[in-house]
Structure 1
Amino acid sequence: MLRVENLNVWFGHEPDRVDAVKDASFTVAQGESFGLVGESGSGKSTILRAVAGLIDTWSGTIAVAGQPLTARKRDRAFYKTVQMVFQDPYASLHPRHSVDAVLSETLRLQGMDDIDRRIARLLDDVGLGRGFRFRYPHQLSGGQRQRVAIARALAAEPRLLLLDEPTSALDVSVQAEILNLLSDLRTEHGLTYVMVSHDLAVVGHMCDRLAVMQAGRIVEVMGVESLRQGTAQQDYTRQLIAASEGYARA
């Protein structure tokens, strides 16, 4: 579903250019949930943004469902295949647009018909009743806002979801609800996930495999079972596991 080869992403120009991602390569199979982990600033979210078309200063290969992407062009077909859920659900929703407006606009942009039925189904899919349809973001809790953001991503009926720390801005009590929702949606819709997280416990719960990043480079790709057992090959990965608060070996 996703192939990334020799990806380099940078910001700015010489002599002030910053190389945020360096020679990153990994693949994600259809239906797989793949994690990107590492310290803040390691390049995790930058990779997601390059895939999503939000950054155009990159080189290398990004291919989705076998189709190579260019740095500057994303067409409607791409956004029917790939959608992104951002970290802060309040910042990613327009404060003056109701839930109905947010979902209606997305559906129309994707050329969908039967808008009313689709909105009702999307709200049901993410565990919000139809009574939420005409509420505004300020009338929703953080968890409810993130459910709306997930519904918006699902509106295009994508195959690949890019999840950028989707629960880190939420209260701990709500995080598990959203993660369980994402797990259920992946099963129900046959979705593929690429999830960025600094929380190894979240990745251990959600992902099949993961790439560990340090200073813009992927230092190790491993199965989640190796993560749970603490059998990493690289010293940096072992240090990351040891430093992860609240992480318990399964």
Structure 2
Amino acid sequence: MSAITIRNLNVWFGAGAERSDAVKDVSFDVAEGESFGLVGESGSGKSTILRAIEGIAPNWSGHVSIAGEVLGKRRSRQFYRNVQMVFQDPYASLHPRQTVDRVLSEVMGLHGFTDIDSRIGRLLDDVGLGSGFRFRYPHQLSGGQRQRVAIARALAPEPRILLLDEPTSALDVSVQAEILNLLADLRAEHNLTYVMVSHDLGVVGHLCERIAVMKSAEIVEVLGVGEMRKLEANDPYTRHLLESSIHSVR
């Protein structure tokens, strides 16, 4: 079953002579429970696709269906239960004057949960922090701990789909592996579907089954991670990208 269906997605900024096309005629499907990667050079449109799905890209056209819901210009309450996003910079995405408890409580309150106290404890355990972090502020946490809080916040509404926008790129290399392993464990435990943006093929190869390679706002090729590791690509740009990253992928 398809969790995400995207057909002929276009995203642009400006109008007329000032129009800039950020995503052009993109189509792909993501199966329920799959982890799907979007890779390519900076500015190729990867993160813009996530923003279009999330509803924070102002100008877009095409067909987008998420968990059976065909999306229009506005998103339903159920959409925000089903789909959550984890951003690149965990410090910028957390309110500096709110404790971890407040961050998680607000999300669950917005989505109508009542047993908030027990849920917070379970969420913090799920992301490997524990109750000792409940009343800390973001500045009292390391980068990896802040990203774990951001992941807990994304999990709070019990979503089916996580959109991951470079979730480890702001972290030290030693911490990146911990967060990737956590995401892999959470996906298996909660049967989550991931769409992950990254410029690092090693990161994508760790977490995803398939990748879409983007160049100049378009998808040039979709291939499995096994094909990626064997450098079995048809498009010249994809082959160049794989060859230049071969050490990180292996």
- For this structure pair, what is the TM-score category when the shorter chain's length is used for normalisation? over 0.9
Whether 1:208 aligns to 2:219 is no
Matches within 5 A, 1:111-190: 111-190=112-191
Displacement after TM superposition at 1:75 (Å) = 1.7
Distance 1:209 1:186 in 2: 15
The correspondence for 2:12, drawn from 10, 26, 32, is 10
Displacement after TM superposition at 1:246 (Å) = 3.5
Partner of 2:110: 109
- Runs (4+) of structure 1 exceeding 3 A deviation are none
The residue matched to 1:15 in structure 2 has which SS? helix
Distance 2:246 2:224 in 1: 20
Partner of 1:60: 62
Partner of 1:77: 78
Displacement after TM superposition at 1:149 (Å) = 0.2
Letter of the structure 2 residue corresponding to residue 40 of structure 1:
S
Distance 1:66 1:47 in 2: 18
Over residues 22-59 of structure 1, what are the superposed CA-to-partner deviations in whole Å (9 max), with x where a residue is unaligned?
00000000000000000000000000010011113100
Contact 1:241 1:247 (C-alpha < 8 Å) held by counterparts: no
Partner of 1:36: 38
Distance 1:67 1:100 in 2: 32
Contact 1:98 1:137 (C-alpha < 8 Å) held by counterparts: yes
Identical counterparts, % of pairs: 70
Over residues 44-82 of structure 1, what are the superposed CA-to-partner deviations in whole Å (9 max), with x where a residue is unaligned?
0000010011113100011001211012x1121001100
The correspondence for 1:23, drawn from 16, 22, 25, is 25
Distance 1:228 1:126 in 2: 29
Distance 2:110 2:27 in 1: 32
The residue matched to 1:25 in structure 2 has which SS? strand
Displacement after TM superposition at 1:162 (Å) = 0.2
Contact 2:127 2:182 (C-alpha < 8 Å) held by counterparts: yes
RMSD, aligned α-carbons: 0.8
Distance 2:72 2:245 in 1: 36
Q: TM-score, normalised by structure 1?
A: 0.98
Q: How many residues align?
A: 248
Displacement after TM superposition at 1:13 (Å) = 1.5
Distance 2:139 2:236 in 1: 45
